Each structure stands twice: as structure tokens, then as C-alpha cells.
Amino acid sequence: MEKQTLVENLGIKFLETGQGRVVATMPVDGRTIQPFGYLHGGASVALAETVASFGAARLIDLEKEICFGLEINANHIRAKQSGQVIATAEILHHGKSTMVWDVKIRDEEEKLICVSRCTIAIMPKK
């Protein structure tokens, strides 16, 4: 499912995809850094929305529904120049038409890199 998508291009790998919780990694390398050599904030936001959206997709009936990111915010706490980051998404709210996910992105030493909250819209398929 991730082939030829942003997920593949950024090197995102899923480690855990449970009900209401998703964990994934992303490398900090040439694909995800900004021109000054640090993890790009947009890459962190893309990772956050990816894990939240994937988690939401696991909680809906994909035959009848589709989900999309509706709103996302992020606070970038710490810079990172190499290695990888690990995103953990946990559901905060599961409604009929929206879900809210909390995402924490940490490095290999468990240092907090970014915190994000993502609202996901759930819509009927056409």
C-alpha cells in the first residue's frame, strides 16, 4: 500500500499498527532534512499525519468510508541531524465524523523531537 507514495519516499516504516495506536520510524537523512542539515519540520508533520491517518484507517470500514487529515499542528521541540525518529500515535477521540490523534515523535534516545495533534475527517465513500 505504501509503494510509490510519500510514505515510501520518506522511508517511513511501520513497527506497530494496533487498534488506536500506531508506531513508525523515519530516517533523518537526505530525504528528510532541510538545507541546513537538520530534520525538516515538514517531514515531521508528514510523519505525524501519516501515523494518525493510518491509525484512523484501521478503525473505519474501508469498504464504506475514507479518512483524510483535516487539521494538524506541531511543536518542534528539538533538532536532529542524523539517525531516525520514532512516531507514536494514540487516539484521543473517536467520533462518527472525526477522530483526534496525539502524536509524539522521539529520537533513538527517547528525547522528544516533536509533538503533534491531528484531526482526521471520516467521510462516506462515493
DSSP state of 112: E
Number of domains in the chain: 1
Q: What is the pLDDT of residue 11?
A: 97
Taking the CA atoms of 58, 90, 107 and 40 in sequence, report the sign of the dihedral they define: positive
Query: What is the mean pLDDT for each group of 10 consecutive residues in the chain (126 residues)?
Result: 86 96 98 98 98 98 97 98 98 98 98 98 95
Q: CA 16: distance to chain centroid?
A: 12
What's the CATH code of the domain at 73? 3.10.129.10
Q: What is the pLDDT of residue 1?
A: 61
Q: What is the pLDDT of residue 126?
A: 84
Kindly list the catalytic residues.
Answer: 49
In a domain, 24, yes or no: yes
**Residue 89: which of 100, 103, 78, 79 has the closest Cα?**
103
CA dist list (Å): 9 to 13, 40, 44, 92:
11, 14, 14, 28
In a domain, 67, yes or no: yes
Q: What is the pLDDT of residue 3?
A: 80
Q: Is the pTM of this model over 0.85?
A: yes
In a domain, 92, yes or no: yes
